[in-house]
């Protein structure tokens, strides 16, 4: 059955569960460890490390969120600012120009005001975004 055909409660309960089950646990356990046994890895991203966003809990959460949104994948970040910068730098590229309200969250305002230049992205801050887009 296609994952998109499943009900939301089924997606929440079953999507992303590790196979085989971890030591027979019916629900995936919460892994609180930041250190894992070293095993040879195919690539850098195969090394389980809590800050790399690839531990068993991360993988299950990514799969559940993607299933709920009927998406191919999902990404969970450690903070809102990490989500904002990841999104902006995924969508914008060198030579792009961003229009943004001047009432942004302070961290975002600081990022686009001080860091965009290094990426070759320009930005104008405006008082009324709706009015600016209409003109």
Is the pLDDT at 2 greater than 70, yes or no?
Answer: no
Among 3-12, 18-27, 33-42, the minimum mean pLDDT is found in 33-42
Query: Cα-flanking dihedrals φ and ψ of residue 67, to 5°?
Result: -65, -40
pLDDT at 88: 95
Average per-residue pLDDT for the chain: 80
Residue 84 has what pLDDT? 93
Length of the chain: 135
CB 113 within 8 A of CB 123: yes
- Asked whether the predicted pLDDT for residue 133 surpasses 60, the reply is yes
pLDDT of residue 131: 67
Q: Model confidence over 92-117: pLDDT tens digits?
A: 999 999 999 888 888 999 999 999 99
1 pLDDT above the threshold of 60: no
Q: Do residues 41 and 47 touch, judged by C-beta distance below 8 A?
A: yes
In the chain, where the domains are located: 3-68, 80-134
Q: 97 versus 42: which is more confidently predicted?
A: 97
How many secondary structure helices (H) and strands (E) does the chain include?
A: 6, 2
Distance CA 90, CA 71 (A): 17
pLDDT tens, position by position, 55-70: 677 778 888 888 888 8
- Taking every pair of Cα atoms in the chain, the longest distance, rounded to a whole number of angstroms, is 61
Parallel, antiparallel, or unpaired: how do β-strands 97-101 and 122-126 relate?
Answer: parallel
Q: What residues does 125 pair with on adjacent strands?
A: 100
């Amino acid at each position: 059955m296609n994952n998109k055909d499943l009900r939301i409660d089924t997606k929440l309960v079953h999507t992303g569960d590790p196979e085989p089950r971890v030591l027979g646990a019916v629900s995936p356990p919460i892994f609180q460890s930041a250190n894992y046994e070293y095993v040879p890895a195919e690539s850098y991203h195969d090394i389980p490390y809590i800050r790399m966003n690839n531990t068993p809990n991360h993988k299950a959460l990514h799969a559940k969120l993607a299933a709920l949104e009927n998406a191919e994948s999902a990404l969970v970040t450690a903070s809102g600012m990490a989500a904002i910068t990841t999104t902006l730098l995924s969508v914008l590229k060198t030579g792009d120009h961003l229009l943004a309200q001047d009432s942004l969250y302070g961290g975002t305002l600081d990022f686009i005001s001080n860091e965009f230049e290094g990426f070759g992205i320009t930005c104008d801050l405006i008082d009324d975004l709706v009015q600016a887009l209409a003109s």
